[in-house]
Structure 1
Amino acid sequence: MGLVGRVREGTRPPESLLLTAPGERAYVDRWDCDVAAGIGLAHLIEAFFTSKAFRAERLALAAIGRGGTDGEALLLAMGAAQNFAAWTQVERRENEILLEDFAGRTRCWLAVTPSADFTTLSFGTAIMARHGMHAAARSENLAFRALVPFHRPYARALLMSAAHKAVRLRQRAVSGG
């Protein structure tokens, strides 16, 4: 492995924030990527939300008044803010954070798992089930299911972009620059 390994689909440990927060999930995924550098959660959060791959999503969110700045991403990373763009922090532990979107429909999970030789960076998404027999609930559930095939490669690209940026952030921090 170089500084950044390939992104692979991960297993979902039942004790993670991705799965322990209340609510029924209609879809859950997890992606992992090993990096050589010792990356902490703050570096991953900052790198994820300021990565090149996430820029398009931030522009789309800005168009609906839910955009966020690099500085706001850094505040969330450092634990000095509870919100970023369309997300609010649900819970945070030493090595993981769970965020929920403003509509309460999707959750974003980031985690780091350090080991002696590398750190595993993880990104997961949960789409919350919407119940009811009315047309809007059925239509929304169908729309989310239709987007899953597009979400999977996008999620992989997001984590890969964040992993590369996290390594650069860590290298800068170590070199004092």
Structure 2
Amino acid sequence: MSAIRRIELPPEASLHRYRQNGSYTDCYHMDVPRIVSFKEYVATFYTTPLFKVERYILALLASRPSSDAGALELASGTSSNFAVWSVEDRKPDQLLLRDFLGRTRSWLMAAPLGARATRLYFGSAVVPLSRSSEGAASFGFAFHAFHGFHHFYTKALMSAARSRLAATSSERR
């Protein structure tokens, strides 16, 4: 299995619109040694045990419960809402979600690497709270306080998805 690496956004990423407007953006990727459909990646990502903890916390704090069935509907394109997110942009190979407060975006993309592997991406955007008269972005205390945790948690979420995808691959053999 490949490492989870932080990289620049690929040129075709829906998340680019936020990078271009001065929002904070990041992008991570991992390579999986099998073909993973975009639908499978999204469904797997949002149904890992780790992400279920996040869903539980969001249900308590934001009164926005979610389920595995809802994650599957999001992945298949039959729903445009999931927990605290709504679909801002959907393409056959990527999904851009907006949180209900409008401050953050989550982005997933899957790209084939030849006939036997898939590159899976996950990225985020944070919209500035305000801008100075010179245009400098201000993100606020919480952004800076949790920035390090965000990077750790992103890698943990991707690792959890990779583990589930590997287990699913083993079950198919």
TM norm structure 2? 0.86
Q: Which runs of 5+ in 2 are unaligned?
A: none
**Equivalences for residues 59-98 of structure 1 within 5 A:** 59-63=56-60, 64-98=62-96
How large is the RMSD of aligned CA atoms in angstroms?
2.2
> 1:22–1:122: structure 2 CA closer, same or farther, 3 Å change rule?
closer
Task: Determine if the alignment matches structure 1 residue 153 to structure 2 residue 155.
Answer: no
CA distance in 1, matches of 2:169, 2:92: 17
- Which structure has more relative contact order (CA 8 Å, sep 6+)? It is 1
More deviation in 107-116 or 141-150? 141-150
Superposed CA deviations along residues 29-88 of structure 1, whole A, max 9, x for unmatched, are: 111111011001101110111012212211111102112100000000111100100000
> 1:52/1:92 Cα in 2 relative to 1: closer, same or farther (>3 Å)?
same
**What is the CA distance between 1:28 and its match in structure 2?**
1.1
Query: Residues 25 and 127 of structure 1 are in contact (CA less than 8 Å); yes or no, is this contact kept in structure 2?
Result: no
Q: CA deviation at 1:170?
A: 5.4
Deviation at 1:142, TM superposition (A): 2.2
Q: Which amino acid aligns with 1:128?
A: V
* Matched residue, 1:38: 35
Give the match for residue 23 of structure 2.
26
| 2:163 equivalent in structure 1 | 164
Quote the residue 1:123 is aligned against: 122
Once the two structures are superposed, residues 102-139 of structure 1 have per-residue CA deviations (whole angstroms, 9 ceiling, x without a partner) of: 00000000000102141011100111112167xxx96x
Question: Within 2, Cα distance between the matches of 1:161 and 1:110?
Answer: 15
| Aligned 8 A contact 1:43 1:169 in 2 | no
- Aligned partners of 2:6, 2:24: CA distance in 1, in Å? 14
Tell me which moved more, 154-163 or 15-24: 15-24
Mean Cα deviation higher: 25-34 or 146-155? 25-34
Identity between Structure 1 and Structure 2 (%) = 32
1:25 deviates by: 4.4
Distance verdict in 2 for CA 1:34–1:132, change over 3 Å: closer
Aligned residues, how many?
167
CA distance in structure 2 between the aligned counterparts of 1:171 and 1:149, rounded to whole angstroms: 33
User: Match of 2:161, as an amino acid?
Assistant: A
SS of the aligned residue for 1:17 comes to coil
